[in-house]
C-alpha cells in the first residue's frame, strides 16, 4: 500500500495516476489512468461501464487503499430508495422519545419536533456518510452496479453527484466540504440516462490485452508458475475470440490461475482444461461448445504460438 | 476557422492553455455533434479543461483526455476515433469530413420531414377532424356492442386485406389501444391509506402534529409501474403488412412513456429503438425502414434471435421486461437451433409473448418445424391480424400472471391447504 498523499491533488499527472494504481496492485492501461487522473483532477464522478469481471469495482477499492481514504460502498438493487441510500430516521427511538416527553408533560409541539428530528435520531446511509468530513480526506464513494436500480433513483443521484449535497427536509441541506471521489459502475443491463452520464467522466473498461493480463495474473496470483501463467493468459485470450454467450473476464483468469495453482498444475493439458472449464465459463452452452475437441485445438494453437514466441 | 487549424498544425503547443487549441477543441466538439454524438457546449468547455489538466504530452494522452469527456457511450467510440484521426491530422480533410457528414444528415431528414408533412396535410384534409382521442374511446365500446358499424367491420378485417384508406383508419384506432396497458408492482413504496404496511415516516409526522395525542397510523403500499417492453418484429416478405401496423402500435406505446426497445429482423437483426422515438409516426417509420435493409426478404429467425440473445438481451431485458415476438415462425432453413434460442430468450425475460398472424386461420396446426420448435418456449401465443386481436393482446397481458407469481401463488395455496389440514 502506498503512503497516503497529503496534497489536495492525489495524482499530479497521468503517469502519477498510473503509478498510484500500480502501487495498490492494479495494472491499468494508459486510457484508464487518463480517466482516473481526470476524474481526480476535475473532481468529477468516474463512470465505468463494461462486462462483468473486468475490474470496474476494483478500481474504487484500489483508489481508496492507494490514497488511504475510506471506501464507502453503495450496492444498487431494484427498489433502492432514499431511506436505504441517504438517510433514515430511527422511528422506534423517536416514538420512545415522544412517549417520554408525554410522561414528563411536555406539550410544546415545536420543541418536541426539534428534539425528535435531531441528528441523534438520524441513521446515516452511504451517500450521507460520503458527504460528511473525514479525517483522512474525502472518502471514495463506490456506487456499484447502478444499472440494477431504476430511473427514479438515478434522478435522485443527480443532485448528489453534481453539487455533492443532499436535502433532508427536517434538517436542511447537507453539503460536502470536500467532494468525495465518486466511482460509478454499470454492467449495462440497461442504459443509464444521458443526464447522469453527462456529469461524469465516462470510460468503457475493456478486456485487457495479453501483456497486461499476464501482468495482472502475476501480480494477483504470485504463487502461479510462470509458464502456466503464460499459457492461461494465452488460452483465455484465445477463448475470448470464440463465439460464446459470456466470455471470461479478468476475474475468471485470476480464479483459474488460483484454481490450477491449487491443483499443483505447471502446464495446461486438455483433461485439466475440460475439468476446470466451470471456473472460466458460466453457461452450459458455452462449456458444451468448448469442452473436448475445441479446447484441445485452442490449446494446441496457444502452445504453438508460445513456442514460436520463445 | 482555417487559420486556427494551421496554428495547431504548426505545432502551436506553447499556447496550449488558451487561444487556438481551445478554439480547435470547440470546433472538434462541433464536428462530433455534426457526426451525431450528443456533445453540447458544456462538454466542449469540459474538453478544454481536460486538455489543460493533461498538459503537453504524447498524442495518446490528448486523445484519451478528449475521449473521457466527449464520449458517453461505448457505441460512440468508433465515431470519435475516426473523427479524431481526421480532424487532428489535416485541415483540408476536416472540411471534406464536415462536407461528408453534413449532407448525409441534413438533406435526408428534411426530405423525410417533407414527406411526412405531406402526409399530415393529407390527413388534415380528409380525416383530421376525428382526432380527439381520449374522448372517442368510450364510443368504440358502444359501437362494438351495438349494430354492425364501419368500425366493427374494421376491427375484424385482416390487415392483409385492407385498402389504403382502411389502413389509415386502422392506424388511428391503434393509437387508442395503449390506454389499457397493465402495470406491475415494484419494490418501491408510496403512501396509501388502503396499503397493508405501516409507513413509519408519515405516522410519526402525523402524530407529532397532534402533539402527544394518539399515534395515528399511516400506511403505504407497493408502487406500480409500466413494465419495460421489448418488441422483436419479423419483417420478412410474408409479414411485412402486419409488421408495419405493429410498428404503429409500438410507436403509440413508446410515445406513451413506456420504456420500449424495438428490434426488426429479416435476415439480420436491427435495433430501431432510437428511430421509433421520433415524435411523428410517419417520420419514425421512415427512419425504421431505412435502418433495416432487409424488409420483405427472407427469414432467419434462429440467427436473429441468437444475435439478440448475445448482444442485446443483457442490455435491454433487465427489470422484468415483457418480450413481444412478432413472427409467423416460418423459418427458411430450420436447423434445430431455434428451440435453444427461444429457450434462452424465455429464461431471460418476465414474459415471452408470441404474436402470430397465422393464428387467424381456424384449425391452425403447428406443422412447420420452426413453429414446433418455438411453441414450447413461449408464455402466451396470440393472433395479431386485425384490430380486435391487437386489442385482445392488451387484455391478455393484463390477465397473464408473471411466471414467478403463478409459481408463488401455487406454493402459497399449497401451504394454506396444509395448514387447514392440520389437526388443531
B218 touches B203 (CB < 8 A): yes
A202 touches A47 (CB < 8 A): yes
Confidence of residue B407 (pLDDT cuts 50, 70, 90): low
Phi, psi at residue A171, to the nearest 5°?
A: -110, -30
Element (H, E) at B26: helix B19-34
The answer on pLDDT for A65 being more than 90 is: yes
CATH code matching the domain that covers A14-85+125-204, chosen among 3.60.15.10, 3.40.50.300, 3.40.1450.10, 2.60.40.10: 3.40.50.300
B234 touches B265 (CB < 8 A): yes
**A89–B57 CB contact, under 8 Å:** no
Torsion of CA A203, A207, A208, A209, to 10 degrees: -120
Q: What is the pTM of this model?
A: 0.73
Reported as a single tens digit per residue, the pLDDT across B131-180 is 333 333 333 333 333 344 566 677 777 777 777 777 777 777 777 665 45
Which DSSP category does B39 fall into? -
What b/e sequence results for A16-55 when a residue is b if at least 16 CB atoms lie within 10 Å of its CB, and e otherwise? bbbebbbebebbbeebbbbbbbbbbbeebbbbbbbbbbbb
Spell out which residues of chain B touch residue A116, defining contact as CB-CB under 8 Å: 204, 208
CA pair distance B239, B266, nearest whole angstrom? 10
SS3 label, residue B298: coil
**pLDDT attached to residue B406:** 54
**B68–A203 CB contact, under 8 Å:** yes
**pLDDT attached to residue A241:** 92
Q: Which of residues 212-241 of A touch B (CB under 8 A)?
A: none
Question: What is the helix, strand, coil percentage profile of chain A, to 5?
Answer: 55, 10, 35
Mean pLDDT of all residues in chain B?
A: 72
Spell out which residues of chain A touch residue B189, defining contact as CB-CB under 8 Å: 81
The answer on pLDDT for A230 being more than 90 is: yes
Q: What is the 3-state secondary structure (H, E, C) of A275-292?
A: HHHHHHCCCHHHHHHHCC
Question: Residue B13 has which C-alpha cell?
Answer: 503547443
**B54–A38 CB contact, under 8 Å:** yes
- Residue of A79, A91, A106 with shortest CB distance to B204: A91
**pLDDT attached to residue B362:** 63
- Residue of A38, A78, A198 with shortest CB distance to B68: A38
- Residue of A42, A116, A198 with shortest CB distance to B72: A198
Neighbours of B190 (CB within 10 A): 12
* Range with lowest mean pLDDT among A175-184, A213-222, B161-170: B161-170
Q: Is A121 on the interface with B (CB under 8 A)?
A: no
CA pair distance B98, A281, nearest whole angstrom? 45
Which residue is closest to A245 within chain B, CA to CA? B310
Rounded to a whole number of angstroms, the distance from the CA of A301 to the nearest CA of chain B is: 26
- What percent of chain B stands above pLDDT 90? 4
Reported as a single tens digit per residue, the pLDDT across B306-327 is 999 988 888 888 777 889 898 8
Neighbours of A297 (CB within 10 A): 13
User: Mean pLDDT, to the nearest integer, of A233-245?
Assistant: 92
**pLDDT attached to residue A86:** 92
Spell out which residues of chain B touch residue A81, defining contact as CB-CB under 8 Å: 188-189
CA pair distance A98, A112, nearest whole angstrom? 7
Q: Is A202 on the interface with B (CB under 8 A)?
A: yes
Q: What is the 3-state secondary structure (H, E, C) of A62-131?
A: HHHHHHCCCEEEEECCCCCCHHHHCEEECHHHHHHHHHHHHHHCCCCHHHHHHHHCCHHHEEECHHHHHH
What b/e sequence results for A109-146 when a residue is b if at least 16 CB atoms lie within 10 Å of its CB, and e otherwise? eeebbebbbeeebbeebbbbbbbeeeeebbbbbbbbbb
Which DSSP category does B98 fall into? H
Question: Residue B47 has which C-alpha cell?
Answer: 474538453
Neighbours of B180 (CB within 10 A): 12
**Angle CA(B248)–CA(B341)–CA(A281) in degrees, nearest 5?**
130
Higher-confidence position of B5 and B352: B352
Which DSSP category does B312 fall into? I
**pLDDT attached to residue B287:** 85
A243: Cα within 13 Å, side-chain hemisphere: 4
Mean pLDDT of all residues in chain A?
A: 89
User: Mean pLDDT, to the nearest integer, of A179-207?
Assistant: 92
DSSP H stretches of helix in B157-292: 164-177, 200-209, 240-254, 273-276, 281-291
The domains of chain A are located at 14-85+125-204, 87-120, 210-305
Q: Is B315 on the interface with A (CB under 8 A)?
A: yes
**pLDDT attached to residue B107:** 37
Q: Is B43 on the interface with A (CB under 8 A)?
A: yes
**pLDDT attached to residue A146:** 94
Q: Residue B265 forms beta bridges with which residues? A: B234, B269
Do you know the residue count of chain A? 310
Q: Is B214 on the interface with A (CB under 8 A)?
A: no
Higher-confidence position of B372 and B98: B372
CA pair distance A158, A175, nearest whole angstrom? 14
* Range with lowest mean pLDDT among A66-70, A91-95, A303-307, B135-139: B135-139
Which residue is closest to B211 within chain A, CA to CA? A109
User: Mean pLDDT, to the nearest integer, of B279-299?
Assistant: 80
B322 touches B349 (CB < 8 A): yes
Instruction: Enumerate residues 6+ apart whose C-beta is below 8 A from B10.
Output: none
Instruction: Enumerate residues 6+ apart whose C-beta is below 8 A from A254.
Output: A216, A217, A220, A221
Element (H, E) at B315: helix B313-316
**pLDDT attached to residue A62:** 95
B217 touches B251 (CB < 8 A): no
A183 touches A46 (CB < 8 A): yes
Higher-confidence position of A7 and B279: B279
**Angle CA(B33)–CA(B36)–CA(A146) in degrees, nearest 5?**
95
**pLDDT attached to residue B379:** 84
Which DSSP category does B194 fall into? T
ipTM over 0.85: no
B397 touches B350 (CB < 8 A): no
**pLDDT attached to residue B16:** 41
**A245–B310 CB contact, under 8 Å:** yes
CA pair distance A94, A100, nearest whole angstrom? 10
The answer on pLDDT for B206 being more than 60 is: yes
**B208–A187 CB contact, under 8 Å:** no
**A79–B54 CB contact, under 8 Å:** no
From residue A174, alpha-carbon distances to A114, A167, A183, A280, B375 in Å are 17, 6, 20, 45, 56
**pLDDT attached to residue B96:** 53
User: Mean pLDDT, to the nearest integer, of B223-244?
Assistant: 83
B379 touches B352 (CB < 8 A): yes
Q: Is A79 on the interface with B (CB under 8 A)?
A: yes
The listed range with the strongest mean pLDDT (A250-259, B116-125, B224-233) is: A250-259
Question: Residue A96 has which C-alpha cell?
Answer: 420512545
**Which domains are assigned to chain B?**
2-103 (no CATH), 184-225 (no CATH), 229-406 (3.40.50.410)
- Residue of B42, B72, B318 with shortest CB distance to A189: B318
The listed range with the strongest mean pLDDT (A297-301, B36-40, B334-338) is: A297-301
CA pair distance B234, B241, nearest whole angstrom? 11
CA pair distance B27, B25, nearest whole angstrom? 5
Spell out which residues of chain B touch residue A152, defining contact as CB-CB under 8 Å: 188
Higher-confidence position of A28 and B357: A28
User: Mean pLDDT, to the nearest integer, of B385-411?
Assistant: 63
**pLDDT attached to residue B363:** 62
Amino acid at each position: 500500500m502506498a503512503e497516503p498523499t497529503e496534497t489536495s491533488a492525489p495524482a499530479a499527472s497521468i503517469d502519477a495516476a498510473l503509478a498510484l494504481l500500480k502501487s495498490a496492485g492494479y495494472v491499468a492501461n494508459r486510457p484508464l489512468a487518463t480517466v482516473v487522473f481526470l476524474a481526480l483532477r476535475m473532481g468529477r464522478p468516474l463512470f465505468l461501464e463494461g462486462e462483468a469481471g473486468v475490474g470496474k469495482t476494483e478500481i474504487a477499492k484500489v483508489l481508496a487503499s492507494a490514497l488511504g481514504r475510506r471506501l464507502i460502498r453503495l450496492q444498487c438493487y431494484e427498489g433502492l430508495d432514499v431511506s436505504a441510500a441517504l438517510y433514515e430516521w430511527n422511528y422506534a427511538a423517536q416514538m420512545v422519545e415522544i412517549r417520554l416527553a408525554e410522561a414528563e408533560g411536555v406539550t410544546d409541539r415545536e420543541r418536541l419536533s426539534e428534539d425528535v428530528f435531531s441528528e441523534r435520531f438520524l441513521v446515516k446511509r452511504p451517500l450521507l456518510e460520503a458527504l460528511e468530513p473525514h479525517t483522512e480526506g474525502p472518502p471514495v464513494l463506490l456506487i456499484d452496479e447502478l444499472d440494477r436500480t431504476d430511473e427514479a433513483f438515478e434522478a435522485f443521484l443527480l443532485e448528489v453527484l453534481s453539487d455533492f449535497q443532499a436535502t433532508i427536509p427536517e434538517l436542511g441541506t447537507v453539503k460536502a466540504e470536500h467532494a468525495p471521489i465518486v466511482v460509478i459502475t454499470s454492467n449495462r443491463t440497461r442504459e443509464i440516462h444521458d443526464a447522469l452520464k453527462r456529469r461524469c467522466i465516462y470510460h468503457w473498461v475493456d478486456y485487457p490485452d495479453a501483456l497486461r493480463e499476464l501482468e495482472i495474473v502475476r501480480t494477483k496470483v504470485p504463487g502461479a508458475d510462470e509458464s502456466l501463467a503464460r499459457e492461461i493468459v494465452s488460452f483465455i485470450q484465445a477463448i475470448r475470440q470464440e463465439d460464446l454467450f459470456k466470455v471470461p473476464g479478468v476475474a475468471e483468469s485470476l480464479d483459474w490461475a488460483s484454481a490450477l495453482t491449487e491443483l499443483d498444475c505447471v502446464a495446461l493439458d486438455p483433461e485439466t482444461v475440460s475439468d476446470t472449464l466451470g471456473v472460466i465459463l458460466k453457461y452450459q452452452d458455452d462449456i458444451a461448445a468448448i469442452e473436448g475437441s475445441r479446447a484441445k485445438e485452442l490449446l494446441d494453437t496457444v502452445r504453438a504460438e508460445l513456442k514460436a514466441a520463445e | 476557422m482555417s487559420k486556427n487549424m494551421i496554428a495547431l498544425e504548426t505545432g502551436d503547443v506553447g499556447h496550449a492553455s488558451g487561444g487556438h487549441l481551445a478554439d480547435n477543441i470547440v470546433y472538434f466538439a462541433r464536428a462530433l455533434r455534426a457526426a451525431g454524438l450528443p456533445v453540447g457546449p458544456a462538454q466542449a468547455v469540459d474538453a478544454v479543461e481536460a486538455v489543460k489538466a493533461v498538459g503537453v504530452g504524447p498524442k495518446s494522452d490528448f486523445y484519451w483526455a478528449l475521449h473521457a469527456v466527449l464520449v458517453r457511450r461505448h457505441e460512440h467510440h468508433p465515431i470519435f476515433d475516426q473523427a479524431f484521426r481526421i480532424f487532428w491530422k489535416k485541415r483540408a480533410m476536416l472540411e471534406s469530413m464536415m462536407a461528408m457528414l453534413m449532407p448525409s444528415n441534413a438533406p435526408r431528414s428534411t426530405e423525410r420531414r417533407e414527406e411526412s408533412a405531406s402526409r399530415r396535410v393529407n390527413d388534415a384534409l380528409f380525416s383530421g377532424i376525428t382526432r380527439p382521442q381520449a374522448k372517442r374511446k368510450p364510443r368504440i365500446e358502444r359501437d362494438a356492442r351495438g349494430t354492425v358499424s364501419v368500425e366493427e367491420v374494421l376491427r375484424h378485417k385482416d390487415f392483409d386485406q385492407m385498402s389504403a384508406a382502411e389502413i389509415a383508419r386502422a392506424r388511428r384506432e391503434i393509437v387508442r389501444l395503449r390506454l389499457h396497458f397493465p402495470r406491475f408492482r415494484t419494490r418501491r413504496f408510496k403512501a396509501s391509506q388502503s396499503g397493508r404496511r405501516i409507513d413509519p415516516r408519515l405516522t410519526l409526522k402525523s402524530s407529532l402534529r397532534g402533539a402527544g395525542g394518539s399515534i395515528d397510523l399511516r400506511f403505504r403500499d407497493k408502487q406500480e409501474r409500466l413494465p419495460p417492453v421489448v418488441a422483436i418484429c419479423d419483417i420478412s416478405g410474408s409479414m411485412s403488412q402486419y409488421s408495419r401496423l405493429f410498428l404503429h402500435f409500438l410507436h403509440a406505446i413508446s410515445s406513451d412513456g413506456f420504456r420500449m426497445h424495438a428490434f426488426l429482423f429479416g435476415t439480420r437483426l436491427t435495433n430501431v429503438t432510437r428511430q421509433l422515438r421520433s415524435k411523428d409516426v410517419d417520420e419514425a417509420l421512415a427512419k425504421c425502414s431505412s435502418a433495416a435493409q432487409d424488409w420483405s426478404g427472407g427469414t432467419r429467425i434462429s440467427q436473429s434471435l441468437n444475435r439478440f440473445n448475445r448482444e442485446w438481451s443483457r442490455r435491454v431485458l433487465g427489470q422484468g421486461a415483457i418480450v413481444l415476438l412478432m413472427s409467423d415462425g416460418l423459418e427458411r432453413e430450420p436447423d434445430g437451433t431455434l428451440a435453444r434460442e427461444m429457450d434462452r430468450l424465455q429464461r431471460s425475460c418476465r414474459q415471452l409473448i408470441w404474436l402470430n398472424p397465422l393464428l387467424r386461420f381456424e384449425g391452425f396446426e403447428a406443422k412447420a418445424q420452426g413453429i414446433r420448435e418455438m411453441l414450447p418456449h413461449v408464455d402466451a401465443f396470440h393472433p395479431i391480424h386485425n384490430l380486435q386481436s391487437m386489442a385482445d393482446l392488451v387484455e391478455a397481458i393484463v390477465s397473464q400472471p408473471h411466471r414467478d407469481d403463478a409459481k408463488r401463488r401455487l406454493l402459497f395455496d399449497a401451504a394454506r391447504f396444509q395448514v387447514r389440514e392440520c389437526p388443531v
